[in-house]
Amino acid sequence: MTDEQPVVVVIDDDLSVREAIQGLLETADLRVELFASPQDYLKSKRWDVPGCIILDVRLPGSSGLDFQRELVGTGNHTPIIFLTGYADTPMTVQAMKAGAVEFLTKPYRDQALIEAVLGAIEKDRARRGSKRALADLRQRLDSLTERERQVMALTVAGQQNKQIAGTIGIRDVTVRVHRRQLMRKMGVKSVAELVRIADLLRSEGIDV
Amino acid sequence: MSNQTLYSLLATPTALPIATIALVIGVFILDTFTDVEVAVGVLYLPVMLVAARVFKRRGIVLVALGCAALTLLGHVLSPGNSWSTTAILDRLLGLAALGFTTYLVAKNRSAEEALAERVQLLDLTHDSVFVRDAKDIITYWNRGAQELYGWTQVEALGKVTHNLLHTIFPEPLEQINATLLRTGRWDGELVHSQRDGTRVVVASRWSVQRDQQGRPIGTLETNNDITERKRAEEYLQRQATLLDQTHDAIIVWKFPGAIIYWNRGAERLYGYTAEEAAGRSSHELLRTEHPMPAELFEATVERDETWLGELRHTTRDGRKLVVDSRHVLVRAPDGQRLVIETNRDVTERRRAEEALRRSEAHLAQAQALSKTGSFSWVPNAGPTEEQLYVSDEWFRIRGYDRRIPVTPKVIFERLHPDDRERVQEIFNRTLAEGRGFDIEFRLALPDGSVKYLHSIARALTDANRLEIIGAVMDITATKRAMEQLQHAQAELARITRLTTMGQLAASIAHEINQPLTGVVTNAHTALHWLDAEHLDLDKTRTAAERIVRDGQRASDVIGRIRGMMTKSTPQVAKVDINGAIDEVLALTETELRMHSVVVFTELARALAPVSGDRVQLQQVILNLVLNAIDAMASFSDRPRVLRIGSQLQTDGEVLVSVRDSGPGLDPGTAEKVFSPFFTTKEKGIGIGLSICRSIVEAHGGRLWTEPGAPHGAIFQFTMPTEASGGA
């Protein structure tokens, strides 16, 4: 998993800037893909590897912020490092809110860019990891039977076995079997762990 | 009385008494010594008749007694039968006839004498008096008549008056006689001829003399020579007529007092008739405004007997007049002092003079205010004509004292040395060709200042006489103002340019930042590959080459910007319009890209250069391009297209057009966009197009807008080239 070669995407209409960034990032042994416009990038294939996008705020046709929104809309959560000619606080705030990882003013320090890129890649790697974990949890959740999900929901809600049994209308001992079963399926050792996973899933919009 | 009688007797012809005596003697001899049986004594009757003509009554009686005595004596002495009855009867008859005749003659004579006595008195007068009988035969002729007509009494008596005097009657003689007989008198003027043929005019008074039966027996005619008076009257009449003819008002008044003469001119001038004026005081009638108190005025007239000057009078209808007046005090023959006042209306002249004076003053004022002098120049002026005339302002402009004489030296002396030759040449040509001129030149004044003058002259040619009339205007202030205006305009243009460039600031910053970013990044990259740890010269070189390229690019951008931002003084040079367009497009490349504007250029090849200030022309193009970008910013549903073109017009001018695909201009605002401070933009101050237009017009071109098809607006301007005669 960690040996995946990350890809840094540079979208800038200015050749000088594109080439310069490519040259710099290559010194950090990074793979760099250059695009003159967001459209070119969207038309290209997707790399299912960790990475980041370096984007000029000022882009022909649409602003970098619009493009950022567009990517998020399509489920692309690749971290974005914005480059800008000038520091504009409202613009920075908006970009950061929308999930930008960095906002660099041209001309940037080389180290700042490299660090930002590496940081973004790590973040992406982590994001990708948690995304995968979540997908695993989801899968586990989906493997639960109807009764097991019922018991899980009530357990997470803080009910004791007896109470659950009362609520559902089954025997106490049956509840205990279901619980042992679902905890095995969800890969947790304790109720506390189950509650945490449930919260995580809920935070991802998954109905537990 | 006796003297008078004597004179009367002496005046009678002396021949008649002698003839009478001879006749008496003859008759007596015949009567006494012949024995003619006829009544010779009857022959004494003619004696009586003759005597009646010669003698007076007493003389006639004496002659009659003598004749009677001689008759009786003749009877006694006569031989024969003198005592016969016949003879005695004859004598008695003769005596009776004598006596009767004597009675009649004497009676007649006494009537005549009475007349003559009255007539004699008339000799005393200077008037000419004569008497003529019913047949117009002169029977009396006084001394006055003799003096007047030159005929002596002797010559005149017995002549028919009208033949003698060649009388010219004022009316037919029959008519005069009729009047005379009816009234007994006639008065009139006659023209008589003197002995030497000279005509005299007489005032004639006729009165009829009648006998006791009242029958007319003669006419007493009294004539006064009025030729002189008549002449004087005619003269006066003529004079008066002449006086009436003149326009001057002539008034004669008794000093001090009433008007006695008032000519037609006075009637015309003042509106009062002679009748109305007569007897009035001239001063009161005319409400004379004297230049001094009226009493003093009269005293002056009295002392100097003459006065000349201007008076103010009021006419009958209330108009005020200014008259040029002359008062002369004269003494009439009767001792009366008269003032002859002659007045000439000078109101109009004064008014005209005043108007002229005012007009001249106005002209001088106008010349002074407008700093315009005038001159006239007659190159071939005659001796009586001034060759050169220049107005006061002309002198003032040149800084000369008005009193110095105008000479060619004065004209050329203060010309700016650089202009002298040119002006001299134009003057020479004017002289040679008789044409006007229109020149601008400078003066270099002694205080070191320079004046700009504009002189326009027209040539007036009239039968070999050339006159050049012109004006010279001091346009220094205008010139200075124009320079200042031009400077201000250039400065304004520069500021607008800076403002426009300000709009581009973000683009420009970006454009400089991009290569700078490249430079810095590539430098780091190069440094990295130079590290001994991972030395890679190829990669270092690549980075270094990129540094060079990007550095150059930044420099180019800055160069373009600096060109647009620095100088303010326009520098006129030949400008390649296509090159200027390209540069503007380079400057706005980022801006255009950021706004997704697609640019199409349609530039005519081999275009003649235009003459102008490159920066200002680029400013115009830049402004139009930026406006086009702004115009297209509001929509995104169709392509944003900017077409910029240059083309050669048929008249040799270059046309530059910038068209956009925006919504176009509202027809109502199409022309307003060129007004200062008109803007459709939120942040604009609305000065860009106004400045653009003034720049284009200062270059001799035009800037206007037209609607584009199917949408958008076209802004285009023309620039003159050498081919169009403008550059």
E strand or H helix at B305: none
Strand ranges in B649-698 using DSSP code E only, listed in sequence order: 654-660
Q: Which residue has the higher pLDDT, B480 or B119?
A: B480
Distance CA(B311)–CA(B532), nearest Å, equals: 125
pLDDT band (50, 70, 90) for residue B495? confident
Q: Is the separation of the CB atoms in B620 and B702 below 8 Å?
A: no
Strand partners, B462: B465
Q: Quote the CA–CA distance of B24 and B107 in Å, as a whole number.
A: 21
User: Which pLDDT does position A86 carry in this prediction?
Assistant: 67
How many residue pairs bridge chain A and chain B with CB atoms within 8 Å of each other?
79
Contact list in A for residue B542 (CB cut-off 8 A) is 23
Q: Three-state SS string across A66-133, please?
A: HHHHHHHHCCCCCCEEEEECCCCHHHHHHHHHCCCCEEEECCCCHHHHHHHHHHHHHHHHHHHHHHHH
Using the Cα atoms of residue B244, residue B246, residue B247 and residue B251 in order, give the sign of their dihedral: negative
Contact A27 B509 (CB under 8 A): no
A58 in contact with B at a CB cutoff of 8 Å?
A: yes
Most confident of A53-57, B168-172, B544-548, B572-576: B544-548
Which residue shows structure tokens 């001094």?
Answer: B292
| Residues of chain B contacting A, Cβ within 8 Å | 506, 509-510, 513-522, 524-525, 528-529, 534, 539, 542-543, 546, 549-550, 553, 593-594, 596
What's the whole-number mean pLDDT along residues B313-318? Answer: 92
pLDDT band at B577 (very low <50, low <70, confident <90, very high): very high
Q: Which residues of A touch B528 (CB under 8 A)?
A: 24, 27, 110
Rg of the Cα atoms in chain A: 23
Q: What is the pLDDT of residues B403-424, one digit of tens each?
A: 777 777 777 888 898 998 898 8
Enter the tokens of residue B297: 């005025």
Can you say whether the dihedral through the CA atoms of A39, A44, A50, A51 is positive or negative? negative
Q: DSSP assignment of B404-426, as one string? A: SPP-HHHHHHTB-HHHHHHHHHH
Residue B610 has phi, psi (to 5 degrees) of -100, 160
H-helix or E-strand spanning residue B273: none
How far apart (Å, rounded) are the C-alpha atoms in residues A12 and B167? 146
CA angle, residues B554, B558, B563, in degrees to nearest 5: 150
Does B383 have pLDDT greater than 80?
no
Name the pLDDT band for B369 (thresholds 50, 70, 90): confident
Q: What is the pLDDT of residues B439-467, one digit of tens each?
A: 999 999 888 889 999 999 988 887 778 88
- Predicted pLDDT at A62: 59
User: Is there a contact between B634 and B662 (Cβ–Cβ < 8 Å)?
Assistant: yes
- Which alpha helices (H) appear in B184-293, and where do they start and end? 227-245, 264-270, 274-277, 282-285
Mean pLDDT for the stretch of residues A130-158: 88
Where residue B681 falls (left for φ over 0; alpha for ψ -120 to 50; beta otherwise) is: beta
Best mutation target among B504, B511, B513, B527 (most A Cβ atoms within 10 Å) is B513
Put simply, the answer to whether A110 touches B517 (Cβ < 8 Å) is: no
Per-residue pLDDT tens digits for B180-206: 888 888 988 888 888 898 888 888 889
Pick the residue of B510, B511, B512, B514 with the most A CBs within 10 A to test the interface with A by mutation: B514
How far is Cα B274 from Cα B252, in angstroms, rounded to an integer?
Answer: 11
- N-terminal to C-terminal alpha carbon distance within chain B: 131
The neighbour count for residue B215, using CB atoms within 10 Å, is 10
Confidence band, pLDDT 50/70/90 cuts, at residue B676:
confident
Q: How far apart are CA B672 and CA B679, in angstroms?
A: 9
In this predicted structure, the answer to whether residue B701 has a pLDDT above a threshold of 60 is yes
pLDDT at B602: 93
Alpha carbon B272 to its chain centroid, in Å, reads 27
**Chain A neighbors of B511, CB-CB under 8 A:** none
pLDDT of residue B647: 93
Q: Which residue did the predictor score with more confidence, B80 or A159? A: A159
What's the CA dihedral at A164, A165, A168, A171 to 10 degrees? 160
| Residue B630 pLDDT > 50 | yes
Would you report the helix, strand and coil content of chain B in percent, each value rounded to 5? Answer: 50, 25, 25
Chain B residues with CB under 8 Å of A58 CB are: 510, 594
Can you tell me whether residue B69 is helix, strand or coil? helix
Per-residue burial over B551-567, b = 16 or more CB atoms within 10 Å of its CB, e = otherwise: bebbeebeebbeebeee
CB atoms within 10 A of CB B203: 16
Q: Which of B567 and B615 is assigned the larger pLDDT? A: B615
A13–chain B Cβ distance below 8 A for any pair: yes
Q: Are B261 and B252 in contact (CB under 8 A)?
A: yes
Among all chains, which residue has been given the structure tokens 């009388």? B167
Amino acid A188 reads V
Determine the 3-state secondary structure of B680 from DSSP.
Answer: coil
Mean pLDDT confidence for A69-96: 80
Compute the radius of gyration of chain B from its Cα atoms: 64
Percent of chain A with pLDDT over 70: 95
Tell whether the model's pLDDT for residue B135 goes beyond 80: yes
User: Mean pLDDT, to the nearest integer, of A173-202?
Assistant: 89
State yes or no: ipTM above 0.90: no
Residue B373 CA to its chain's centroid (Å) = 27
Higher pLDDT, B506 or A120: A120
The CA distances from residue B477 to B420, B454, B558, in Å, are: 21, 12, 41
CB nearest to B521's CB, from A20, A85, A86: A20
In this structure, of B42-46, B307-311, B595-599, the range with the lowest mean pLDDT score is B42-46
Q: Mean pLDDT in chain B? A: 83
Beta partners for A33? Answer: A9
In this structure, how many other beta carbons lie within 10 angstroms of the beta carbon of residue B587?
Answer: 25
Identity of the residue numbered B292: M
In the numeric block, which tokens belong to residue B9?
């007797």
Give the closest residue to B617 by CA, choosing from B519, B720, B505.
B720
Chain-centroid distance of CA B375 in Å reads: 24
Chain B closest-CA separation from residue A208 CA (Å): 45
**Which residue did the predictor score with more confidence, A145 or B12?**
A145
Please state, in angstroms and rounded to a whole number, the distance separating the CA atoms of residues B140 and B136. 11
Would you say B159 and B139 are in contact if contact means Cβ atoms under 8 Å apart? Answer: no
Lowest mean pLDDT among A34-48, B5-19, B472-486, B499-513: B5-19
Q: How confident is the model at residue A98 (pLDDT cuts 50, 70, 90)?
A: confident
pLDDT band for position B581 (50/70/90)? very high
Task: Please say whether the beta carbons of B259 and B280 come within 8 A.
Answer: yes
Question: In chain B, what percentage of residues exceed pLDDT 90?
Answer: 17
> Using CA atoms, how far apart are residues B621 and B624, in angstroms rounded to an integer?
5
Q: Is the pLDDT of residue B4 over 50?
A: no
> Cβ contact (<8 Å) for B518 and A108?
no
User: DSSP string covering B480-520, please?
Assistant: HHHHHHHHHHHHHHHHHHHHHHHHTHHHHHHHHHHHHHHHH
Main-chain dihedrals φ then ψ at residue A158, nearest 5 degrees: 100, 15
Q: In this structure, what are the phi and psi dihedrals at residue A60, rounded to the nearest 5 degrees?
A: -65, 145
Round to whole Å and give the CA distance between B442 and B338: 70
B502: pLDDT strictly greater than 70: yes
Q: Rounded to 5 degrees, what are φ and ψ at A173?
A: -65, -35
State the number of CA atoms in the 13 A half-sphere of A150 facing the CB. Answer: 16
Residue B675 token pair: 């007004």
A positions 126-155 inside 8 Å of B (CB) = none
List of E strands, B158-215: 185-193, 199-210
**pLDDT at residue A87, as a whole number:** 63
Tokens of A203: 């935070």
User: Is there a contact between B170 and B190 (Cβ–Cβ < 8 Å)?
Assistant: yes
Task: Note the pLDDT of residue B522.
Answer: 93
Q: Compute the average pLDDT of residues B11-26.
A: 70
d(CA B500, CA B565) in angstroms, rounded, equals 10
pLDDT of residue B10: 42
B364 phi-psi bin (left φ>0, alpha ψ -120 to 50, beta other): alpha
| Interface touch A61/B529, C-beta < 8 Å | no
How far is it, in rounded angstroms, from Cα B542 to Cα B522?
9
The H or E element that residue B150 is part of is none
Confidence of residue B155 (pLDDT cuts 50, 70, 90): confident
User: Is the CB of residue B553 less than 8 Å from the CB of residue A16?
Assistant: yes
SS3 B151: coil
**Scanning the structure block, which residue is given the tokens 């220094």?**
B476
Partner B contacted by A108 (CB < 8 A): yes
Paired tokens of B661: 């695909």
Q: Does A20 touch chain B (CB under 8 A)?
A: yes
* A20, A61, A106 member nearest B522 (Cβ): A20
The predicted pLDDT at position B53 comes to 72
Q: Give me the sign of the Cα torsion angle B71, B72, B74, B75.
A: positive
Please give the structure tokens belonging to residue B399. Answer: 């800084």
Whether residue B2 is predicted with pLDDT greater than 50 in this model: the reply is: no
Chain A residue numbers touching B519 (CB-CB < 8 A): 20, 107
Percent of the residues in chain B that have a pLDDT greater than 70, as a whole number: 93
Report d(CA B669, CA B338) in Å as an integer. 89
Q: Which of B509, B518, B528 sits opposite A17 (nearest CB)?
A: B518
Q: Give the per-residue pLDDT at B568.
A: 66
Beta-carbon neighbour count of residue B247 at 10 Å?
Answer: 10
